[in-house]
Amino acid sequence: MPASAEPQPLSPIAEPYSRVVLRAALWLAFLAPFFYSTYGFANWLASTRNQVGSIVFSWEHHVPFLAWTIVPYWSINLFYGLSLLLNDSRQGVDRLAGRYLTAQIVAVSCFILFPLTATFVRPATTGLPGFLFAVLGGFDKPFNQAPSLHIALLVIIWDHWRQRLSGPLLTLWHFWCLLIGASVLTTWQHHFIDIPTGALLGFFALWLSPARDELPFSGFRLTADGKARRLSLYYSLGAALALAGASIGAFLSAVALVLLWPSLALAIVAFGYSGAGPKVFQKTADGRVSLASRVLLWPYRLGARVNVWAWTRKLPPVVAVIDGVFLGRFPDAAEAHAFGTVIDLAAELERPRDAPGRWISFPTLDLLPPRADTLDEAVAAIEPARRQGTVLICCALGFQRSATVVALWLVASGRSHTPAQARKHLAASGRPVHLQVGLDEPA
């Protein structure tokens, strides 16, 4: 039916705001003492060590000390509490508090296991900055460094408010958050390495507790599929190797810590194959992915893009099947522009930002047979889409997941009488296909 005639979801009934405030107050009553007790404990534990190392780049000695930036530095404490109140449901409060808690637990664990110290000695300050530095020094010692909990919380709070502001207020918010982020250096409170590690932690907290979508670990059941287990093991080994490279390489150069990023990305993918499923990629029905997924899984997606190029560079990007339906690899924006609708099976790849037209996504994991209900939904989407123009059915390479959907559609629509005929039809297109879910039997 036309898009305008599609039934619209009912708006959820708004909760009384008093319940939201109560839930926020209860969380603050727990989070505040939890923060100061665990943060303080990590500081005390590091102070008992004979020696605590540091990671400092030579250029950091040229970062100026700007006393006034303690004001934006401190302002995050205000936004920490206000953000809990800036919600329209108790679930929203719980999800935000879950992100705070994740950042706190992971950061403090790192402070205990791998303490670092700030090496710069701040000059004496007076006035309001002097007062704020004095208060800060009353509970904060120079040991809780990487990952910067300040930066992790900033990422969480920035994301929370940017989705609720617009126009000049949103621009002002971005600017103020930039000041907060820079202030960890200009107050000589942190070294540079604390910033990217803190940001990675912040995005992990966003991924682990998305604002509205399903939690990545909800409904987790360890897979019984042998191939899925092997793939999970391979990705886990990759994550472990990258983590080992970061840990060992850090003794030679702090730049090696960049390997923490692909290590986390591969660990998330391994978690998906072990039983969490395609939701770990946080891909929506229109092909978009969450900001946290885009950032955290960027190293993996880069590898996936290279893999697509390596396997398909000598093949046409798409081939015609029949009656306006095409089969192909995951398209770029220009390739997608040629079709009225793109039906996409690749959970791991994101729709190009400037891709026009209709885009329908049925996220499935690479190299595994899609779920039967997912296949049924994808097949059912083809005919309505075909009536509105040409249709591209794609996955990463266009060899398995999308080819299976096209073959099932050929049989379901009567264009092929048997799966074997559908397979022959696709083989005649000249594109290598490896059909799944029992469709790859000989003719």
Alpha-carbon distance of 86 to 211, in angstroms, equals 12
Tokens of 315: 């093949």
Task: Convert 358-395 to b/e letters by CB count within 10 Å (16 or more is b).
Answer: bbbbbbbbbebbbeeebbeebbebbeebbeeebbbbbb
Query: Active site residue: 110, 177, 394, 395, which one?
Result: 395
CA 195/CA 186 separation, integer angstroms: 13
Structure tokens at 209: 């507790």
Residue 45 CA to residue 135 CA, distance in Å, equals: 21
110 is catalytic: no
Q: Given CA atoms 433, 277, 349, 229 in this order, what sign does their dihedral have?
A: negative
Tokens 């039906």 found at: 343
Q: What is the CA radius of gyration of the chain?
A: 26
Q: Give the sign of the dihedral formed by CA 302, CA 307, CA 310, CA 313.
A: negative
Q: Three-class SS of residue 131?
A: helix
What one-character DSSP code corresponds to residue 354? T
For 443, residues 6+ apart whose C-beta sits below 8 A from its C-beta are 420, 421, 423, 424
Sheet strands (E) in 46-157: none
Record the tokens describing residue 169, joined without a space. 């207020």
How crowded is residue 81: how many other Cβ atoms within 10 Å of its Cβ?
A: 15
* Burial track 237-269 (b if 16+ CB lie within 10 A, e otherwise): ebbeebbebbeeebeeebeebbbbbbbbbbbbb
Do 439 and 422 meet the contact criterion of CB atoms below 8 Å apart?
yes
H/E stretch holding 345: strand 341-346
284 C-beta neighbours (distance < 10 Å), count: 14
For the sheet with 341-346, list strands across it.
318-322, 325-328, 391-394, 341-346, 358-364
Secondary structure class of 298 (helix, strand, coil): helix
Tell me the two tokens of residue 419.
């799966």
Residue (of 134, 395, 436) closest to 283 by Cα position: 395
Cite the active site residues. 395
